[in-house]
Structure 1
Amino acid sequence: MIEEIVRFILSNFTLTFLVIGLLFSLVAIARALKPVTAAMVVEKLISWHVFWAIGVCFFYNFVMHSIFGKTAAAFIGWPDSPFQFEVGTASLGFSVVGFLAAFRSFDLRLAAIVGPAIFTLGAAVGHIYQMMTAHDFAPGNAGVIFYLDILIPLFGFLLLWLAHRYSLKGEP
């Protein structure tokens, strides 16, 4: 039972880190000075989202594709290839920007969300193509990761929009 839970958590790392980011946000909101404003809630959500769903998540992706490439490829339903290392180093770049941006300016957070969003939305298109043409329904191609390749960028864009909206209102 424990082994299955750990396997699920590690195999569905995008979900894991999204949830951890939300939990960190909730704790930060609960610990914040009162009154709690909408702007402060958005600030906590976007900070921890960028830290966990971009920074930590893409670092994990770097490790998996660079060090455990054969395992990552098999999970996706592909043979191992030298492109694993290239995907890994791209993920490392996204991770570094995520860590730098987590508690910084709107513009840096914008960059931290847009780059990986283009990557994961493109990956989602690739997953659909592989499902349709190669009938690849491996968990790493058609499972939770596929859906989160779409959901996480949309959530990030929503947070960016809300952060921009509240910064224009001048709400503290």
Structure 2
Amino acid sequence: MAISSPFQLEVAFANLSLAFLGILCWKFRDEFWIATVISLSVFYLGATYGHIMDIILKGNHAPGNAGGPLYLDIILPILLIFLLVYHRKGVFRREDDGCVSVD
């Protein structure tokens, strides 16, 4: 599938940068997760705003605007923030043997 506009190319690179952030979380851990979750949340919630405004102002109920992408743009940041808070509260703790246990 060819990229048909400069805007699509910019969004593709934005998505690629977010993918790199996610991969780097495995290496850097701790505070890096916070920056990654904030970055993803701002991007997806901004996309949510764009979808909703497109629905309100233009009546665009196309599946690519009002369907799955909209739901994903809402659910993913909420899920990531929840998991980050859950993790930061110390629910998951590293044991000496490298295993992860849940209290």
Q: TM-score, normalized by length of structure 1? A: 0.50
Cα-to-partner distance string for 1:27-48 (whole Å, 9 max, x where unaligned): xxxxxxxxxxxxxxxxxxxxxx
Alignment partner of 1:166 is 2:90: yes
Counterpart of 1:126, as a letter, is G
Higher helix share: 1
Alignment partner of 1:129 is 2:56: no
C-alpha distance in structure 2 between counterparts of 1:146 and 1:99, whole Å: 24
Counterpart of 1:69, as a letter, is I
User: 1:69: how far off?
Assistant: 3.1
Counterpart position of 2:101: none
Counterpart of 2:90, as a letter, is Y
* Superposition CA RMSD, Å: 2.1
Equivalences for 1:84-95 in 2 at 5 Å? 84-95=8-19
Equivalences for 1:45-124 in 2 at 5 Å? 68-70=2-4, 81-102=5-26, 104-124=28-48
User: 1:145: how far off?
Assistant: 1.2
* % identical equivalent positions: 33
C-alpha distance in structure 2 between counterparts of 1:110 and 1:150, whole Å: 18
Unaligned 5+ segments in structure 2 are 96-103
Q: Which has the higher contact order (CA 8 A, sep 6+)?
A: 1
Q: How many residues align?
A: 95
Cα-to-partner distance string for 1:52-110 (whole Å, 9 max, x where unaligned): xxxxxxxxxxxxxxx5435xxxxxxxxxx320001111111111111111354121111
C-alpha distance in structure 1 between counterparts of 2:8 and 2:36, whole Å: 22
C-alpha distance in structure 2 between counterparts of 1:136 and 1:143, whole Å: 11
Secondary structure of 2:89's aligned partner: helix
Q: TM-score, normalized by length of structure 2? A: 0.80
